[in-house]
Amino acid sequence: VNVAIDGEPVFFGYEPDETLTIIPIWDTLGLRATRSQLLAFDETLLKDSHRATNPPGRFNAINAGLSNISIGVAQAALDALIDHARNRAISGRPLSHQQWVQYEVADVEIKLTAVKAATRRALRLADLGDPASFAAIDRAKYLANKVAVEIAQLGVRIGGASGFLRGSPIQRHLRDAQAGQLMAYSTEVIAGQVGKLVLGVDEESARAEREGDRP
Ligand SMILES: Cc1cc2nc3c(=O)[nH]c(=O)nc-3n(C[C@H](O)[C@H](O)[C@H](O)COP(=O)(O)OP(=O)(O)OC[C@H]3O[C@@H](n4cnc5c(N)ncnc54)[C@H](O)[C@@H]3O)c2cc1C
């Protein structure tokens, strides 16, 4: 259980008892192999003896794996659309011989290569215990989420109507890719943080407040 104590997140181990209710909402459109339960706690006691601690100098890079979920979806989507493009013949030639397909596939393959590199760098920083890994992991997740959606959407274009059938892996990749953007931190939340940082918005607000421009 993750709770805020004095504004700081703290994890507690917890053995389910009668104070816990599981609310069965989890019937999702995508990433259906993941399991995420809505839990309700009623007067639950979190024991100090079950409070999780990090070894000195270490931190919890809990979000480190999220980028790889989207990379997996993106790679599966790319593999599926390549397979379709090579095996679907239109006017006597495989779809892969059409120039628009080649250009679009090159574009997403190059982006996916960049996502993998960004993720590897972020995980390396986490392994080194460098706090800069948090910002790097968030950026890698953002990129992976977006690129996965882009590749999955290209899959739908290349797949035509057959990719839109429920039995096709292509439609599943589209649903799975979309879910990555929602998982915390969502692409909007990350974009908000990075955008403010890049534009120096918080510094400007702090300065305005110091100088009495704000109530
Ligand atoms: C497949 C999947 C697996 C998940 N697994 C887990 C899990 O294992 N553990 C867990 O705890 N949760 C899990 N979640 C839930 C996930 O953490 C939340 O969906 C996520 O934090 C967004 O919260 P929300 O769904 O309440 O959306 P809301 O907070 O209601 O957001 C609605 C919209 O507003 C945007 N938004 C929200 N806050 C801001 C902000 N500050 N700035 C800009 N935009 C904002 C969001 O990006 C979104 O577009 C999972 C979700 C999915 C889809």
Name residue, tokens 């703290």. 10
Residue 214 pLDDT:
56
* Averaged pLDDT, 55-80: 89
User: 44 is written with which tokens?
Assistant: 């639950």
Helices (H), 45-98: 66-87
Where is pLDDT greater, at 52 or 92?
Answer: 92
89 alpha carbon to ligand 1 midpoint, in Å? 41
181 alpha carbon to ligand 1 midpoint, in Å? 9
**Number of C-beta neighbours around residue 111 at 10 A:** 17
d(CA 60, CA 77): 31
The CB of 73 under 6 Å from ligand 1? The reply is no
For the cut 90, the answer to whether the pLDDT of residue 62 exceeds it is: no
Burial of residue 147, with CB atoms counted within 10 A of its CB: 0-12 exposed, 13-18 middle, 19 or more buried: buried
> The whole model's pTM is what?
0.89
CA 145 to chain centre: 5
Whose CA is closest to atom 8 on ligand 1?
Answer: 36
The rounded mean pLDDT for the chain is 93
69 alpha carbon to ligand 1 midpoint, in Å? 16
Burial of residue 100, with CB atoms counted within 10 A of its CB: 0-12 exposed, 13-18 middle, 19 or more buried: exposed
Where is pLDDT greater, at 48 or 62?
Answer: 48
Taking only the tens place, the pLDDT of each residue in 7-25 is: 988 889 999 999 999 998 8
* Averaged pLDDT, 148-156: 98
